[in-house]
Structure 1
């Protein structure tokens, strides 16, 4: 595949060329807003969108999804940095394993699509697409349920305590910056970094679905701090992986460019909103969004939409 910027891919959109550009800009803004609000890459919307409406292969959809993340992530990261929400030690440690993991999986996944096994048709789809569909739905479905249940629990705690006098409020465990210097937390972050890179490359979701729960539940960060720290990993990991997909000839730069324009402005708005939101809201939106996208994607595939 020759990578050009002739924008001919937008003719593949069912409503035509200009509606296709407008749709990608609009989805880009929405994804940028949602991604910066939740600390995720946004690929959980972008990847099935490009896969379904522009008829890209699973690998190409993942590549485009990842390629629009760096600038959007940087846009949100600047806002979080100015508000002192980034926890640099945890974020940089995550990158130690997420970067090589993402590069390796992107290389293997990109090549698998072109193998005889990857092109073999089962149930009307290539094996490479079936693998993607299975991993996407199972992984995101489990995380969606978990995050939604956690959000309702945090919401209940917040309403129970918000009207109590200070002396009667239950002391909560707060973020401990020295925790990262212990062996076990280091190993946990490094292991999560491997999974972060893996799912970032194979699903195009940026890895924030793993990083945000880790930072919230294990390191006891506030959700907005977890989101900001996750964005650091998303920015660097998605940039490196996008370059690899580009070299493999899997990336439609024209789609990524238009999506990035919308995502840049959406990320600015979303990150400003996130620093003011209630603690449980981020997890509630995250879990709901995951389940909605999984349901839509499964139905779309079953009905061949």
Structure 2
């Protein structure tokens, strides 16, 4: 007799807990909403699109609450920036959705959105990895993050935590652009907001992650509520994922205080590139009717989550070991 928990077998429950732990580490470390990996994984497992998206959003909301509280305790949240980003991203998402509806009427939505997803992930990931490697090879003393838009001084301006004063209009404009892309691609926008705050505004990576997570909490709450009303949230998926992520998110958020800035951005870029590969493999399978590529796409997602979360934990342990070694011993 098989044991079931929340409508799934005990084995499936344990697997979801393990996967949730890996995603929680990545979420706490990078500030990505989780739908970036969870939703494609559920689709590859055969869940209907509505359930995959709705359950992914519910997981995003639960995990973001955990991560936001942890980052708040560490002082890594800029509340003013999070509020402006939430307003502008929400407005942009509506514009992006209208673009998708227009493409659906033309019968081009699936191909265009999937192609844009892969291209955007690849471009952002390649830029982040390249920037991280160039920082590591630069022998000059690091001067801290430099924002592309910090020289734009259109009033009013806002002083950001750990960063410069940035024009409120620039923040709203960037948030709107990110929202349009997020609404068009059907994702939470976390993988876009984190580099936007780091490279655009000059915010330290740890603060960008914490602020990003707080903003995602709002969008995840609204999205999961709407999908739950239409039966699009599967508790058998969400509950075990949240059990695992509750533990993993604390590890990931704590690691942002231990791993150097270049390490954070480098891992983030690698995660984006692997995600692009997984989505591309799945789309090839859909286009040519190759069922086996769904399993390959799922394997890439799981292996990528395992490798990158493992790298985060390893780097954190190594940093702690170095701190203890360099600390003066008490006589």
TM bracket, shorter-chain basis: 0.7 to 0.9
Q: Does 2:8 align with 1:52?
A: no
- Structure 2 CA distance for aligned equivalents of residues 62 and 35 of structure 1: 17
Ranges in structure 1 where 5+ consecutive residues have no aligned partner: 11-16, 121-126, 162-168
The aligned residue for residue 80 of structure 1 is 71
Q: Does 2:195 align with 1:195?
A: no
Contact 1:29 1:266 in 2 (8 A): yes
Q: Does 2:51 align with 1:69?
A: no
- Structure 2 CA distance for aligned equivalents of residues 147 and 195 of structure 1: 21
Contact 1:99 1:240 in 2 (8 A): no
Which structure would you say has the larger RCO, counting Cα contacts within 8 Å and 6 or more residues apart?
Answer: 1
Query: Number of paired residues?
Result: 270
Q: Does 2:201 align with 1:210?
A: no
- Structure 2 CA distance for aligned equivalents of residues 186 and 273 of structure 1: 27
The aligned residue for residue 267 of structure 1 is 249
Shift of 1:221: 1.2
Q: Does 2:274 align with 1:292?
A: yes
Residues 186 and 289 of structure 1, relative CA distance in 2, 3 Å threshold: closer
Contact 1:86 1:229 in 2 (8 A): yes
The 3-state SS of whatever aligns with 1:68 is helix
Shift of 1:57: 2.9
| Aligned alpha-carbon RMSD (Å) | 3.1
Residues 68 and 278 of structure 1, relative CA distance in 2, 3 Å threshold: same
Contact 1:67 1:242 in 2 (8 A): yes
The aligned residue for residue 31 of structure 2 is 39
Superposed structure 1 runs of 4+ greater than 6 Å apart: 103-109
- Structure 2 CA distance for aligned equivalents of residues 106 and 299 of structure 1: 25
Residues 213 and 247 of structure 1, relative CA distance in 2, 3 Å threshold: same
Shift of 1:280: 0.8
Contact 1:216 1:222 in 2 (8 A): yes
The 3-state SS of whatever aligns with 1:230 is helix
Deviations, residues 51-76 of structure 1 (Å, cap 9, x unaligned): 011x1233432221111112211222
Contact 1:103 1:244 in 2 (8 A): no
Q: 2:260 pairs with 259, 271, 278, which one?
A: 278
Residues 84 and 6 of structure 1, relative CA distance in 2, 3 Å threshold: closer
Contact 1:106 1:244 in 2 (8 A): no
Q: How does 1:169-184 map to 2 (within 5 A)?
A: 169=141, 171-172=143-144, 178=159, 182-184=167-169
Q: Does 2:181 align with 1:185?
A: no
The aligned residue for residue 134 of structure 1 is 115
Ranges in structure 2 where 5+ consecutive residues have no aligned partner: 151-157, 293-331
The aligned residue for residue 133 of structure 2 is 152
